[in-house]
Structure 1
Amino acid sequence: MSVINTEIKPFTAQAFKDGEFITVSDTDVKGKWAVFFFYPADFTFVCPTELGDVADHYEELQKLGVEVYSVSTDTHFTHKAWHDSSETIGKIKYTMIGDPTMQISRNFEVLREDQGLANRGTFIVDPQGIIQAVEITAEGIGRNAADLLRKVKAAQYVAAHPGEVCPAKWEEGEATLAPSLDLVGKI
C-alpha cells in the first residue's frame, strides 16, 4: 500500500539534536513542513555521505520552514557517538531520531524486517502531517539533497497554488501547468 496522501502515524522516540537528547513525537511534526530521512545504519558508508549532503542544505530547508528528521534503527546514544566521532556527521544540526523499536520505520513502511534496518527512504510531510512525496532507494544508491530541496519547493508551491501542478524538472520560478481538458493531448 502506498503511504502517499496518508497521515503520519503516531510515534514517540528519543533523538539527538544540538548536543542534547530530546523526545520527538508525531505531534511535534505537525504545523510545519517536515522531511523524514531514513537510512540503514550509523557508522556505515553511503549513509554519512547522504546525511552530510542534507546537512549542507539544512539552512536552506530551514528558510523554507522545513524541519529535517533523520531516522535509523540505531539508538540516540549511537547517533551522539557518531556525531562526536565523524567530521561529516558532526556538522549535522537537524534532529537524529533513534528508532530501536523499529516502530517509525514500520509506520513509514521502510523497515527490512529480516535485518532490523530501514531502507533509504525520504518522505516530505506537509503541515497537516500528510505525506506528499516518497523516494525509496536500494542500499547502494545514495540520494541527492539538491533534488530533495527541489521537491520540497514543488510540494510547497502546489500546496499554496491549488489548481496548478509542477511539470518534470520544475525549478522555482519556472512555469507550472493548470490541468484542464484543453491540455489533454497537447503536452
Structure 2
Amino acid sequence: MSLVNTQVKPFKATAFKEGKFIEVTDQTLKGKWAVVVFYPADFTFVCPTELEDLADNYAEFQKLGVEVYSVSTDTHFSHKAWHDTSPAIGKIKYAMIGDPTWEVTQNFEVLREGQGLADRGTFIIDPQGVIQAVEVTAEGIGRDAKELLRKVKAAIYVANHPGEVCPAKWKEGEKTLAPSLDLVGKI
C-alpha cells in the first residue's frame, strides 16, 4: 500500500544539526513543507554524494520554505563523527536524524528486513504532515537534488492552485494543465 496521501506516523528521534543534538518528531515536520531522505548508512559510497548534493542545494529548498531531513539507522553520534571527518558531509546544515531503533525507518516503510538498514527513500511532506510524494530506489542508484527541487516546486504549485496539475518535466513558470472533459484525448 502506498504512503502517498497518508499522515506521517508518530515518531521521536535525535538528530545532529549544526553542531548540536536536537529532537525531531512527526510534529516537527508540520507547519512547513518537508523533504525526508533516507539512506542506507554513514561512511559509505553513494550516500555522501547524495547528501552533499542536498547540502549544495539546501539554500534553494530553504527559499521555498522547505526543511530537509536525512535519516539512516546510524546513531546521531555517528552522524556527528561523519560530519566532522568528511569534507562532503561537513557541508550539511540540515538535520541528520539517527534512527538506531528503526522507528522512523519502519514508519516510512523503508526498513530492509534482516539488514537493519534503510532503503534509499525520498518523501515530500506538506505542511499538514501528509506525504505527497514517495520515491524508493535501489542502493546503487543515487538521487539528484535538482530533480527533487523540481518535484517539490510542483507539489507546492499543485497545493496552491486547486484544479491545476503539472505535466511531465514541468518547471516553475511553465504552463500547467486544468483537467476537464475538453482535454480528454487531446493531449
Q: TM-score, normalised by structure 1?
A: 0.99
Structure 2, unmatched stretches of 5+, are none
How far does the alpha carbon of each residue in 1:109-130 deviate from its partner, in whole angstroms, 9 at most, with x for none? 1100110000000000000000
Shift of 1:28: 1.1
Matched, 1:76 2:88: no
Instruction: Determine the C-alpha separation between the residues in 2 that align with 1:56 and 1:166.
Output: 26
Other-structure match for 1:147: 147
Determine the structure 1 residue equivalent to 2:59.
Answer: 59
What is the 5 A alignment of 1:30-179?
30-179=30-179
Deviation at 1:63, TM superposition (A): 0.5
Q: Kindly report structure 1 stretches of 4+ aligned residues shifted beyond 4 Å.
A: none
Alpha-carbon distance, 1:42 to partner: 0.1
Q: Normalising to structure 2: TM-score of the pair?
A: 0.99
Q: How far is the alpha carbon of 1:87 from its aligned partner?
A: 0.2
* Equivalent position SS for 1:172: coil
Instruction: Say if 2:23 is the partner of 1:9.
Output: no
Structure 1 residue matching 2:21: 3-state secondary structure: strand
- Aligned residue identity for 2:72: S
Percent identity among equivalent residues? Answer: 78
Deviation at 1:29, TM superposition (A): 1.0
How far residue 27 of structure 1 moved from its aligned partner, in angstroms, is 0.8
Whole-angstrom CA distance in 1 between matches of 2:168 and 2:103? 34
Q: Distance in 1 between matches of 2:57 and 2:152?
A: 12
User: SS of the counterpart of 2:140?
Assistant: coil
Partner of 2:25: 25
Deviations 1:113-157 (A, max 9, x none): 110000000000000000001111001000000000000000000
**Separation of aligned partners in 1, 2:92 and 2:43:** 14
Aligned amino acid, residue 14 of structure 1: T
SS of match in other structure, 1:97: strand
Query: What one-letter code is carried by the residue in structure 1 that aligns with 2:111?
Result: L
Deviation per CA, 1:88-117, whole angstroms, max 9, x where unpaired? 000000000000000111111110011000
Q: How many residues align structurally?
A: 187
Cα deviations across residues 47-87 of structure 1 (Å, max 9, x unaligned)? 00000000011000001000000000000000000000000
